[in-house]
């Protein structure tokens, strides 16, 4: 299975600028129950470092750039996120980390579930045990 799932979003571009539309269950494989975004990020303060038991997410870098690390317990890959027309799917049981934020980075996350701390696995060893 492909570890990195990139989603090319529908964009409408004309002389006025660009518009991206995202429809649940169409442009992404889940219904959106939660939206959050991060900004005022620091290049040396990475975030994430967890996996979700149930939640699926789509990450889109709306402005600036950052590096997303995706790890399914068997393979790891990194992707430079800087294109608001491309999302990265963070599936359930995928360890993810976000690094190297540009000072203007604005990162949007669309999530399939409401926030629930019990859905998080924040210990990498526990994550690996759960995977295997
Ligand atoms: P945290 O999980 O540490 O963020 P990251 O994944 O970027 O490392 O979340 C930071 C704080 O925000 C923490 O106190 C939990 C809270 N939070 C919510 O209340 N709702 C949410 O949807 C999210 C993602 C976080």
- DSSP string covering 20-80: EE--BTTTBSS---EEEEE-S--TT--EEEEEESS--EEEEEEES-EEEEEE-SS-EEEEE
62 pLDDT tier (thresholds 50, 70, 90): very high
DSSP 104: T
CA count, 13 A, side-chain hemisphere, 55? 24
Distance 108 CA to ligand 1 centre (A): 13
Nearest in space to 101 (alpha carbons), one of 51, 63, 57: 63
Q: Has 50 been annotated as catalytic?
A: yes
pLDDT tens-digit readout, 3-12: 889 999 999 9
Residue 22 has pLDDT above 90, yes or no: yes
Q: How far is the CA of 105 from the centre of ligand 1 (A)?
A: 17
Does position 73 have pLDDT exceeding 80, yes or no?
Answer: yes
34 lines ligand 1 (CB under 6 A): yes
Tell me the average pLDDT across 22-33. Answer: 94
Contacts of 24 (CB under 8 A, 6+ apart): 30, 31, 32
Which residue puts its alpha carbon closest to atom 13 of ligand 1?
117
Ligand 1, atom 17, lies closest to the CA of 115
Question: pLDDT tens digits for 99-112?
Answer: 999 999 999 999 99
């Amino acid at each position: 299975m492909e570890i990195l799932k990139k989603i090319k979003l529908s964009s409408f571009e004309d002389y006025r600028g660009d518009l991206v539309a995202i429809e649940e269950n169409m442009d992404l494989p889940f219904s959106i129950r939660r939206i959050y975004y991060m900004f005022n990020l620091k290049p040396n303060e990475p975030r994430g470092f967890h996996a979700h038991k149930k939640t699926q997410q789509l990450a889109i870098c709306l402005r600036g750039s950052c590096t997303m690390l995706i790890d399914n317990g068997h393979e790891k890959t990194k992707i430079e996120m800087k294109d608001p027309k491309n999302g990265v799917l963070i599936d359930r049981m995928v360890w993810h980390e976000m690094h190297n934020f540009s000072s203007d980075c604005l990162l949007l996350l669309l999530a399939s579930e409401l926030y629930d701390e019990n859905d998080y696995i924040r210990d990498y060893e526990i994550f690996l045990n759960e995977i295997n």
